[in-house]
Amino acid sequence: MITQVVYVSRAVHPMGRGTDRDILRVARKRNAELGLTGFLFRTRTHYIQLLEGPPEAVGQVTESLRRDPRHTDFDVIRTMQADTRSFERFAMGYDDVLQMRAAAFIESLKSSAISDSSLRAHVELLAVGRRRKKAALAASLGQFVSGMTFSRRASRQ
Ligand SMILES: Cc1cc2nc3c(=O)[nH]c(=O)nc-3n(C[C@H](O)[C@H](O)[C@H](O)COP(=O)(O)O)c2cc1C
């Protein structure tokens, strides 16, 4: 059995100034040492994180998180027991999420009516959704770029 914690907090620093990079560098190293995995979502104003692994290790890092001055309004939404991990390949995945999507998402996560398994599925989908969109964007940009190469070549003939 592993423990999963999902929390929401308010970011102190704006995005893109290196804070998140610093957080991730330390987080990934410590998580790997402690056998923790998870995913960190960043909106313009908030963090949403799922942290999972052995109960003592999750508790230890949760205490560090609670004291960390880089975020405020630290609010644990749910602590769950699970048989399998949601993000076993990520020492700590990271992605940015649109503000509006995150606000709705946070509200749904906070609803006590939502079961552990659907809360888990919500978090997993948020991670997959973003990656798929990025992959689709990369693919269409690739087509656009190869289209440009094609038309340039065509105009030279
Ligand atoms: C949004 C956010 C997410 C974080 N995620 C992790 C994490 O997944 N694992 C981790 O070890 N530290 C994480 N940290 C850093 C911890 O708060 C803490 O600084 C670090 O673990 C070192 O612990 P210590 O200050 O108790 O020595 C995170 C910090 C923030 C602000």
- Residue-level pLDDT at 148: 54
Q: 85: buried, middle or exposed (CB in 10 Å: 19+, 13-18, 0-12)?
A: middle
Q: Is 47 in the pocket of ligand 1 (CB under 6 A)?
A: yes
Strand order in the sheet with 2-11: 71-82, 2-11, 46-53, 37-42, 93-96
* Atom 27 of ligand 1, nearest CA residue: 64
Distance 131 CA to ligand 1 centre (A): 24
**Which tokens hold the place of 33?**
């040492």
CATH class of residue range 2-156:
alpha beta
Give the C-alpha separation, 90 to 57, whole Å: 16
Ligand 1 centroid to Cα of residue 150, in Å, is 48
- Give the SS3 label for residue 12: coil
CA of 21 to the centre of ligand 1 (A): 12
Q: Using a 6 Å cutoff on CB, does residue 43 contact ligand 1?
A: no
Inter-residue contact 97 to 41 (CB < 8 Å): yes
User: Is residue 31 within 6 Å of ligand 1 at its C-beta?
Assistant: yes
Which residues does 94 contact at the CB level (< 8 Å), separation at least 6? 20, 24, 39, 40, 41, 42
The one-digit pLDDT tens for each residue of the chain (157 residues) are: 999 999 999 999 999 889 999 999 999 999 999 999 999 999 999 999 999 999 999 999 999 999 999 999 999 999 999 999 999 999 999 998 877 777 777 888 888 888 999 999 989 988 887 666 667 767 776 665 565 554 445 444 4
Domains of the chain by residue range: 2-156
Q: Cα(36)–Cα(116) distance, rounded to whole angstroms?
A: 19
* Cα of 146 from ligand 1 centre, angstroms: 42
Indicate whether residue 141 lines ligand 1 (CB < 6 A).
no
For residue 137, how far is its CA from the centre of ligand 1 (angstroms)? 31
Ligand 1: residue whose CA is nearest its atom 14: 27
> Does residue 70 line the site of ligand 1, with CB under 6 A?
yes
What are 71's strand-pairing partners? 11
